[in-house]
Amino acid sequence: MRKNQQLASDIVLAVLSGESLSDQFSPLWRAYPALGASDRGTIQDLSYGTLRRLGELQAYAAFMTRKPIADDRVKALLWVSLYQLLHTRNAPHAVVNEAVNAAQETGRPWAKPLVNALLRRFLREQTGLKSRISWTEEALYSYPSWWIERLKRDHPQDYAPILAEGNRHPPMTLRVNRRKQTQESYLEKLSELGMAATPVGEAGLVLGQPVPVERLPGFGEGWVSVQDYGAQLVPALLQPKDGMRICDACSAPGGKTAHLLETAAVHMTALDVSAQRLERVRGTLDRLGLDASLKAADAENISAWWDGEPYDSVLLDAPCSASGVVRRHPDSKWLRRDQDIAQYARHQHRLLDALWRVVKPCGKLLYVTCSLFKAENEDVIAPFCERTRDARLAPSAFPLDTAGRWMPSAHNDGFFYALLHKG
């Protein structure tokens, strides 16, 4: 447990210094090849969980210390240990003992007695401490204050449940490749292996318990993919038909590209500004037995990639704050800044203006974000429709609300969809 606490603390510090959480694990596994699957899973859980609940953990730590802890590594170790005591089933005294030993190994003579005293006090006084802490909104919700204020303005009736949902563990949802399996047949295969699942939509299955993808029957053969249910609306809205030309303008990692190809035999162009990320799209398509024309290019610069023949449909899964999928990427709420949202919106405006030019008359453009901030959603689409005479916004479809939003829930992350018809 001690090594897991130490490594999770290092990851939390790396994220708070500006690094992406998802980039931390592969280098760590290479550096510590002896770590087994169980330890790797524990380190991931501690890292993700601590970042989800960081505001709360910082509040407890700050209340119990007379003056701020100057050493970042000791602070992070304390946060990770408090997360274990508050939100896991680890034996409390084992958590404390291992954290104390880990503190000793930091080389700070004062760290061991401090961590020991703070964690043992927490065990003795947990109930009383909860009532005595001055709960700021950042501590209460475990989000930065600017994020909370944006959601309050955008969703005054729903901001609290949205924030709470973003701190929960996300479900593991599958998308059945209907070229190889039916939803019903794959559900039977899961049942035979003792894996409970609930059907959602036309191709989705929400697992009762997450499992490594290697345990999923036929995963390597392309029978199924992992994709949140909220991201599975694209074919239902675009209605692809055999022979259509479709462009996925920001395609990596390839889930929506593949879903369209699973639904119909379309001629697909998959773009991404990053050649490295585009390799993930190729890997996804190869595993599923699908094919597309992959181009590493900036979608804004259409002269660099467009052959001049208009598309029946364009999918713009626009770069955004990812505020709707924060439970999967808890680092985003600590890495983003309020001013970043305006930068995303400017980029989204430019992408819409550029890609509208490649949509054929009577064609469609589907604008998608995994954001819940209006500045990236309604406030992008409404001005676009005002300045673009041949753009018509289609009515929202079930399960979207009237604005095109799909709020996060136990079964799905948060998304925004806007279907634009040309002409």
Catalytic sites, residue numbers: 370
Residue 376 near residue 369, CB atoms below 8 Å: yes
| Residue 267: CB atoms within 10 Å | 17
Residue 348 near residue 318, CB atoms below 8 Å: yes
Question: How many degrees, rounded to 5, is the angle at CA 308 between CA 303 and CA 310?
Answer: 120
Record the tokens describing residue 173, joined without a space.
């949802």
CA 342 to chain CA centroid, Å, is 20
Residue type, position 88, single letter: T
Region at 254 (left for phi over 0; alpha for psi -120 to 50; beta for the rest): left
Record the tokens describing residue 36, joined without a space.
């087994």
Alpha helices, H only, 110-209: 111-132, 137-141, 145-154, 159-165, 183-192
Distance in angstroms (rounded) separating the CA atoms of residues 115 and 327: 29
Distance in angstroms (rounded) separating the CA atoms of residues 162 and 213: 28
Residue 24 near residue 11, CB atoms below 8 Å: yes
Record the tokens describing residue 121, joined without a space.
């006090």
Distance in angstroms (rounded) separating the CA atoms of residues 132 and 259: 51
Distance in angstroms (rounded) separating the CA atoms of residues 117 and 94: 15
Burial 4-29 (b: 16+ CB within 10 A, else e): bbbbbbbbbbbbbeeeebeebeeebe
Distance in angstroms (rounded) separating the CA atoms of residues 211 and 229: 17
Residue 208 near residue 196, CB atoms below 8 Å: yes
Burial 302-339 (b: 16+ CB within 10 A, else e): beebbeeeebbbbbbbbbbbbbbbbbbbbbbbbbbeee
